[in-house]
Amino acid sequence: MRVLDSEFAKGFCRMCVDGFYQGWHERNGGNLSYRIKDEEIASVKEELKEDGEWKEIGTSVPALAGEYFMVTGSGKYFRNVEIDPAANICIIKVDDKGENYQIQWGLVNGGRPTSELPSHLMNLEVCKKRNPEIRVVYHCHPANTIALTFVLPLDGDVFTREIWEMATECPVVFPDGIGVVPWMVPGGREIAVATSEIMKKQDVAIWAHHGMFACGTDFDITFGLMHTVEKAAEVLVKVMSMTDRKRQTIEPDMFRALNGPFGIKVNENCLYEKKSDKIGEK
Ligand SMILES: [Zn+2]
């Protein structure tokens, strides 16, 4: 089978396009990675090239040794993925040490994988350890979530609580909550380590004044998670545009009441008793 006829490639490209139309991918912003299943890579083997140069990942991901990934290209625009996927995305293989990669398909006009490859692979590695079904890591620049990083404290528990309160679906969709990485230089190992520390336990990491990372078991779940957080962030931006205090909201025991019916365990760290009714005060 040709790569672009495979369901995983179609799902990958659709997610890029959907993200662009949400307005989350200005210019070359954002990146997406997918850890390809064994049977999926076997089905497209005829199109893979194994003679490319091996290059350093920039970090070490031994638990991903020998695996294949579909990733967006560095400097490539999400809006172009639909019209020419083979020029804007690629399939890479990680070597048996987990330290180098080889491009085996795609980026036909040249280029390299996303500059955030260390973050993507380190996140995929910690996610695989906590749940082998997690295969997708997605990074984008959603405006409302970014806006909140200027007015809420950069504390994951506070961020989670304020965003949870904006929509009942939020604690059901991400009961473990959200982590926050303070401003750091993107593209390197340091921010990759900080993000993967969050992804050991949580599916969402916000990069202050930059954007968001989400992981999930498939494209629908990961895109839906990003969409849910950003929608709730939009509601919070609207509320904060009207007032810095809420008249009423979802209270801690109301969140706890969701555990049974939805089979979840909401993160108790985020259900602190508030000392103030001012939004963002702990
Ligand atoms: Zn970014």
pLDDT digits (tens, 9 = 90+) for 56-108: 999 999 999 999 999 999 999 999 999 999 999 999 999 999 999 999 999 99
Same fold, 1-114 and 116-282: yes
Please check whether the domain covering 116-282 is classified as CATH 3.30.1330.10.
no
Cα(93)–Cα(108) distance, integer angstroms: 16
Distance 113 CA to ligand 1 centre (A): 14
Helices (H), the chain: 7-21, 38-43, 85-88, 117-130, 143-148, 156-164, 169-173, 189-199, 219-242, 252-256, 259-262
Q: Which residues are catalytic?
A: 116
Q: Where are the domains of the chain?
A: 1-114, 116-282
Distance 30 CA to ligand 1 centre (A): 5
Query: How many beta carbons lie within 10 A of that of residue 62, not counting itself?
Result: 11
pLDDT digits (tens, 9 = 90+) for 244-262: 999 999 999 999 999 999 9
Distance 190 CA to ligand 1 centre (A): 15
CATH top-level class for 1-114?
A: alpha beta
Distance 14 CA to ligand 1 centre (A): 19
pTM of the model: 0.96
